[in-house]
Amino acid sequence: MDNGSTDNRGPSRTAMIAAAGRAAHLIVDRPPHLFQDTVAETLLGERAAELISYHRESGDHPVLSGTRAQVSARSHYTEARLAAGGFEQYVILGAGLDTFAYRSPLAGRLAVYEVDHPATQAWKRELLAAAGIGDATVEFAGVDFERDDLAAELTAHGFDPNRPALVSWLGVTMYLTESAIGATLDTLSGWAPGTELVMEYALLPELRDESGRVFAEFALAATAEQGEPLLSFFSPESVTALLDRHGFTVAEHISQHTAVDAALWQRADGLHPVDFCRLVRAHIPGRTRI
């Protein structure tokens, strides 16, 4: 999970946990890998060794293995959709320590916009500079979602709301109230027909599988203790209704199991899908996309 938030205590812990999970996946888990984030470890800088060491030492713990599965599967699906959809603009809401713009060949063919709290972005840019990673291919739109106008901030950084975009919203909605989620959806619904959203959401307790139940038992307590409690849980039906109320048409709901090719789950290690969070892909009607 990666809500990209910061507070007065310093950098976002959830952003670091997500980046460490992507980095550790390439180190702890055996091939075939679900996703190749070759930059996350470098971006984490001096914290990388400590954060990845937890996965090295206790990689089978439900929260650690579940985090690696979650962050890898969702990134695989979203970036595959980006490659297939023919988009020219990519908006990453709650970007945290996302590394797409710094490693993907697609980044040079897209206008990439990272949206997050200004404090989080300042911290990330310090990490990028310390790691010697340039940011020339990305626009940073600093947004306090409680106060700022998302559309205005993006437009000020070159985003064209009249051209379709892919919007990723991963590891965020579970930390927001439903009204806050709806406010952002209202903004997105005013963008060009054909704009697509890939949004991650947390499942209601009764819909989780056994792995999801065990993951939640540990993760919910940990995030609350860190001051970042999960606030919203949904069923696929309630997410579909929410998106419909805000002008979106749902194309599909995606579990971790279906987010990647089935062959990638035929593994020699203990990594497996955890049904705690799912993805939904939806679009603004008016233009059909594959």
Q: What is the pLDDT of residues 142-189, one digit of tens each?
A: 998 878 899 999 999 999 999 999 999 999 999 999 999 999 999 999
pLDDT at position 195, please?
A: 97
pLDDT band (50, 70, 90) for residue 6: very low
**E runs forming strands in 122-171:** 138-142, 166-169
Host H or E run for residue 48: helix 48-58
Q: Model-level pTM? A: 0.94
What does the block give as tokens for 7? 């507070």
Strand order in the sheet with 277-283: 138-142, 111-116, 89-93, 166-169, 196-202, 277-283, 249-254
Predicted confidence (pLDDT) at residue 290 exceeds the cutoff of 80: no
